[in-house]
Structure 1
Amino acid sequence: MIKQQNPHGGKLIDRTLSSENVREIISQTDKFQSMDVDIGIARDMENIANGLFSPLEGFLTREDYENVLSNKRLSNGIPWTIPIVLDISHEKASIIKSGDDVILRYEDRPIALLHVEEIYDLDKDAHAQQVFGTTDKSHPGVANTYRMEDNLVGGKIDLLQETPSPYPKYALKPKETRKLFQEMNWNTIVGFQTRNVPHLGHEYIQKTALSNVDGLFINPVIGKKKSGDFRDDVILEAYETLIENYFPQERATLGIFQTEMRYAGPREAVFHAIVRKNFGCTHFIVGRDHAGVGSFYPPFAAHEIFSEFDDLGIIPMFFKSFFYCKKCGSIAHSKICPHSSDFYIHFSGTRMRELLVTGKRPPADSMRPEIADVILKYDNPFVE
């Protein structure tokens, strides 16, 4: 008997309406006020409705929001580190009130019904400092914060319809991944978060983690990223190639997490773990500078933050740095390799990127040639 991992908060949230209720609401949309949202907010609502963000049932109200900023927990004490909020303008805040139901639209399609509970001010300085640890606008998450409107609206949502996924084959919901893991007879599953194509260091981490569990769930973030990150289609094709050629098919699977990167470092590492717990994972890989950007976070800050959460309900697996040892003739790390650093070849994403940009394969001790070939067939594999 496969024992399912409990969702965060104990219950997998489902805020999707029946088709009959959806038809009724859409037939009366002219009776509701409405607001336009961007794709990031649309994906947040889908992730709430489908249980990826359990136990959230909507956008944070003030008490939960302030607790998340100050304590990294919801007001009921459940760990939560990234504020999931909806920002609105002063103009919109002046015409809606607590108790209103508001249609939220993306590209003029009604996608959710928001049950307004509360409208409150956004302190952008406090938000940036608490979530990202800085108010420096060169940090992409901070820059996004200062582009937000000045008010936040909290309340539960009901999903009317989803926005089409560009990769429906891999857009699995928690109910589907949990069923899949059960069908594959996996009791223990390790989740791997990524926004990059795989090099040999990533593969080594994945296989080391997989040695201790039943299955590996490779779960790339698909959505808005900063300029210079790899494109979503490149990441997916690279991982398809890696799994097909270098993993036992009954031990690894691929699914996507449709959201935007926030680059919140340690806080985002915990958030990523919670989401993978909701997918059904029992373990989660936390790498060096997880979800970091530039030099904003110490290299292992994302490891240290987990000491604050002995009640997280998912087991973090910490990995530091790996290298190719010319003396060992294999990938190694400091606990298993006795040799001098003179023999080390470190995995440099920057160096690999430089080679790929010039149309050259990274060396075979850094990246699988099949992966390099996937990347090189694209005229521009990077986000512009």
Structure 2
Amino acid sequence: MRAIDKRLGAVGLALLLMAGLSAPALAQASTEIDFGDDSSEWANDGECDDPRFAGSAMASELLDTDIGRDATDCRAAFEAGSISLAESTTAATTANDDIDFGDDSSEWAKDGECDDPRFAGSAMASELLDADIGRDATDCRAAFEAGTITLVGDSDPAMIGDIDFGDDSSEWAKDLECDDPRFVGSGMASQLEDINIMHDASDCRQAFEDGTITLAGDDAAPAAPAANTASAGMLEQIAARIDFGDDSSTWANDGECDDPDFTGPGVAGETLDADRLHDASDCRAAFLAGTAFLKSVNDLGGFFNYGSDSSEWANDGQCDDWRFTGPGMAKKLEGGDVMADASDCRALEASGEISIKPVFTADYALGAPYDSSGVYFGDNSSSYADDNICDDPRFEGPGVATTLLDSDLEHDAADCKTLFEAGQITLR
């Protein structure tokens, strides 16, 4: 049973006098504390339910879910001198100035639990995803200040905000290895090229936060190279993955690329569908020279199928299709709602509240083949092995089965490896 009766008057005055602080001084100090909001079910009941504080005006039972959720009660009690920041909270408040908590873009942000796997403690969510690193700032900051979570791992969080990780334009981006040669450590790819400097941001940020890589040194952090300074060896490797076709076009070997699948200054001003895959020598030479580039799927007419509004949750203002991610997502998702909540998901994506998970976008497969050497696929002992669908629940993507069983984890190796390399699935 929660204590409801509070006697703030005489006790608060006595504590105020004992503290030797005037009410205006305490009021001024309170402006430096983020009390949060009044979303707790116990808000405005005359006692403070936020476990970051301690004192006579505190509730007898405290829950981590009320961190930052009882602002009015806690502010009043703090200014009355009947509560103060807990000792561990005061120390943590100073320490957290050095931590980049990130933002609140996680779909689980502001739910009263910290979902960022860089931390550990009683206020952590029971299930953690690497995708939430740096994405649950409010919850994690409040819990850290309350002393209910601490940092884990070997990385220095103070440095993260000072590093420009760049973007994910490398062909090796999001393959679970850092390909940026500014870093060193066990999370690095075995072969590194300068072309990938600042172009493998997601992998390198995650590995840095996990403590598996560090900066190689101040002299090993050169500025990002221009796109046309890629080494010939790297372009040769990329070109080897492209089917340029043959030279049967009327315009073959005329010094410019006539294949309509390419764009750039080395491509003819007018191209014909009939010349697709029929100007190989010209297009290959222009590609190696950096004057021709493959178009994206969107440029080629590809599209994303949002589906229909057949879900029972359609048009409720939340996206229920698990192909998306972001704060506009419903918290409980079911396979039956995939491609069945089109209007909600389309509107939320347009407003920036959600985004399509990369593996479900039309152009993800263009990056194939993906390097699977760092992934352990297991064996083929699943009863669903060799059916050309991945049944391993560690993966997601259009090539993954609709119904997934824990018993198939690491037991559908051949299917999952083939689909991973083809860009049809990726690790969750």
Answer whether TM exceeds 0.5 for this pair: no
* Structure with more relative contact order (C-alpha pairs < 8 Å, separation 6 or more): 1
Give TM class, smaller chain: under 0.3
Query: Which structure carries more strand by proportion?
Result: 1
Query: Which structure carries more helix by proportion?
Result: 1
TM-score (norm 2): 0.24
TM-score (norm 1): 0.26
